[in-house]
Amino acid sequence: MAKFLNTSATNYFLEELIKDAKDRLILISPFLKLNDKMKELLADKNRLKIDVRIVYGKSELQPEEINWLKELTYIRTSFCKNLHAKCYLNEELCIITSLNLYEFSQVNNNEMSVLIRRSGDAELYKEAYEEAQRIIRISDEVRITLERVAHESENKPETEESFEKLTSSKLAQKLGMKTNEFVEKLVAAGHLEARDEKHYLTAKGKEAGGEFRVSPKFGTYFLWPASFKL
């Protein structure tokens, strides 16, 4: 049977849900800004090689989240457009809640949640788990260790170069692809090389006009001519 949780109970059971995950952990939250306790718990799951999926959707990751996630091999992040659901699951528990994984919300807001135990209501847990999987499937995985979108360059004054070069994500959007799909095609075509979970610009990529950039704020990314075609 489902159990109602108030604000303090929500925070307590969320921590327990993360700590008790033995096989998988799914965290779906539109806003993502983790407090130190959550980072500690998730880093421990990473050390134990637990498969962790984080789906966010209302805003871009903050630089501190980007830098932290870069070090965590077993935590995968995905961006889901128009995401409003907040749902947290391990192999036994599911919390459907108003609580975002956002530091301010966890400290300042009044929240309500429902706790579902797989052992107590297997059918309800299954329905929630399947919906979480659907959200993951329609989300665009953000491969933090490989490439970051160059929002910094997008906010610069428009220069001649800004009209001619696009980030991988912008060019993928222009070509009607997801960023991951576009990057995989770049690798297949020989414009990028995938090595040690990172992407490197090849000689062919440079000849095609590709550029590798590093932003202190947003990490590494690639620029391509707006007229670039695979």
**Got the DSSP string for 177-224?**
--HHHHHHHHHHTTSEEEETTEEEE-HHHHHTT-EEEEETTTEEEEEE
For residue 230, is it within any domain?
no
19 and 103 fall within a common domain: yes
Residue whose structure tokens are 């952990």: 25
CA distance 85 to 69: 22
165 and 218 fall within a common domain: yes
Pair 59, 84: CB distance under 8 Å: no
State both tokens at 221.
Answer: 């990314």
Q: Is 226 left (phi over 0), alpha (psi -120 to 50) or beta?
A: alpha
Q: How far is CA 194 from the centre of its chain?
A: 20
105 and 212 fall within a common domain: no
37 and 13 fall within a common domain: yes
Number of domains in the chain: 2
pTM for the full predicted model: 0.62
18 and 91 fall within a common domain: yes
107 and 216 fall within a common domain: no
Q: How far is CA 2 from the centre of its chain?
A: 28
Q: Which of 90, 120, 142 is the last residue of a domain?
A: 142
177 and 96 fall within a common domain: no
201 and 159 fall within a common domain: yes
Q: Which of 100, 117, 142 is the last residue of a domain?
A: 142
H/E element, 4: strand 3-5
For residue 91, is it within any domain?
yes
159 and 124 fall within a common domain: no
Task: Give pLDDT, residue 87.
Answer: 98
Residue whose structure tokens are 């001619």: 164
> What ranges in the chain are assigned the alpha helix state H?
7-20, 36-47, 63-69, 103-108, 122-138, 151-154, 160-164, 168-174, 179-188, 203-207
**Cα torsion angle, 152, 53, 168, 59, sign:** negative
CA distance 104 to 35: 9
168 and 132 fall within a common domain: no
User: What's 68's domain CATH number?
Assistant: 3.30.870.10
Q: pLDDT by residue for the chain (230 residues), tens digit each?
A: 899 999 999 999 999 999 999 999 999 999 888 888 899 999 999 999 999 999 998 755 667 777 788 788 889 988 898 899 999 999 999 999 999 988 756 667 899 999 999 999 999 999 999 999 999 999 987 765 434 444 433 444 443 343 468 889 889 888 899 999 999 999 999 999 998 778 888 989 888 888 888 765 556 788 898 888 88
**Contacting residues for 123 by C-beta, under 8 A, at least 6 apart:** none
Residue whose structure tokens are 């991988």: 168
Domain carrying residue 133: 3-142
